Amino acid sequence: MAELEVRKARELGFCFGVRRAIKLIEAAAKEHQGIATLGPIVHNQLVVARLAQMGVRVVNELDQLRDGIIAIASHGVSPELLSKIQGRQLGVIDTTCPTVRSAQKAAKKLAEAGFGVVIFGEETHPEVKGLLGWAGNKAVATLDGEEIAGFDLPRRVGILSQTTQSRSQFTAFTNRVILAVAPYAQELRIINTLCQETQKRQEAALELAEKSELVIVVGGRNSANTQRLAELCSPIVETHLIESADEIEQAWIARRQRIGVTAGASTPDEAIEEVVSKLSSFATGA
Ligand code: SF4
């Protein structure tokens, strides 16, 4: 197996939004005790564990926190939750990613102008729950364009996306929405709220998949953008999503020479390097 080549995607791992969120929390943890994040700060267990060593814990409900400092995750929150947080006697660190913030502002603007907002995204994902809050009471979120015909939308319809969706799927979804609302819609607005960092990682993953006999995607299984990388690569080449190097099975590598490695925007460099070095060890027989 000495000829095994392990190649990393040209764009992978931490995005600027995740780096920024971690930096804000780490800086606060050096100065203060009693910091809790509302849900995991990013969807990666290694990051959460490292912050826990610095005294930062995770709470799932605001009511679990009576005092101290609450950190809002990079996915952001709805205006209702934000005002609840602000109404408590708590310190607040808001790490909402600027790209998510732009999507929230776009949703708010559409809602204020009387548009029914259609969000292309997973209804249960924290970012989408937040976006739904900003998008007013005529907003819906779905990944299935066929469902649109069943929604009671006004005659002005705005479409936007969860930031981490893929461009091609958002385009296909938008086309279906246009077809569904065309018979009655007076005005349609499409706002591109896709994250460029995510797009770069997706394009690089597709390029890597074309050149590889196996792709390993490293990242949290609960991370939407990591899942998306695996979904994009798997129709092209055998793909495995793993959280750590321990999950690699030697059988995957057998008779393969070109292995590609990519990673979600919340995956730390150490996790990526561990995977690359474990794969490389198969080449050297170490
Ligand atoms: S993936 Fe994009 S939207 Fe999400 S935190 Fe990173 S930069 Fe922000």
Whether the pLDDT of residue 283 is over 80: the answer is no
pLDDT at 54 over 90: yes
What pLDDT, on a 0 to 100 scale, did the predictor assign at position 66?
Answer: 85
DSSP state letters, 261-279 = EEE-TT--HHHHHHHHHHH
pTM: 0.91
Cα 97 to ligand 1 centre (Å):
6
DSSP string, 12-53: -S--HHHHHHHHHHHHHHHH-S-EEEES-SSS-HHHHHHHHH
Which atom of ligand 1 is the closest one to the Cα of 196?
2
The residues lining ligand 1, judged by C-beta closer than 6 Å to any ligand atom, are 15-18, 74, 97, 99-100, 163-164, 195, 197-198, 225, 265
* pLDDT confidence tier of residue 1, bands split at 50, 70 and 90: very low
Q: What pLDDT shows up at residue 284?
A: 63
User: Ligand 1, residues 18, 20, 167: which to mutate, most atoms within 8 A of Cβ?
Assistant: 18
Average pLDDT, the chain: 94
Atom of ligand 1 nearest to the CA of 16: 7
Q: How far is the CA of 199 from the centre of ligand 1 (A)?
A: 10
pLDDT of residue 42: 87
Q: Is residue 169 pLDDT above 70, yes or no?
A: yes
Residue-wise pLDDT tens digits, 123-146:
999 999 999 999 999 999 999 999
Contact 97/74 with Cβ under 8 angstroms?
Answer: yes
Q: In which element (H, E) is residue 255 found?
A: none
Q: Whose CA is nearest to atom 5 of ligand 1?
A: 17
Annotated catalytic residue within 11, 122, 127, 197: 127
What are 6-53's pLDDT values in tens digits? 999 999 999 999 999 999 999 999 999 989 999 998 888 889 999 999
Instruction: Return the pLDDT at 285.
Output: 61
For 65-112, the pLDDT digits (tens) are: 888 999 999 999 999 999 999 998 899 999 999 999 999 999 999 999
In the residue annotation, 80 being an active-site residue is answered as: no
Would you state the pLDDT for residue 128? 97
Percent of the chain topping pLDDT 70 = 98
Q: What is the mean pLDDT of residues 251-263?
A: 93
**Chain segment 199-247, per-residue pLDDT in tens:** 999 999 999 999 999 999 999 998 989 999 999 999 999 999 999 999 9
| 137-140, Cβ contacts within 8 angstroms, sequence gap of 24 or more | 138/111, 139/107, 139/111, 140/116
* 74 CA closest ligand 1 atom index: 5
Mean pLDDT of 250-259: 91
**Å from CA of 163 to ligand 1 middle:** 7
- Strand (E) positions, the chain? 5-8, 35-38, 57-59, 69-72, 91-94, 116-120, 140-142, 156-161, 187-190, 214-218, 239-242, 258-263
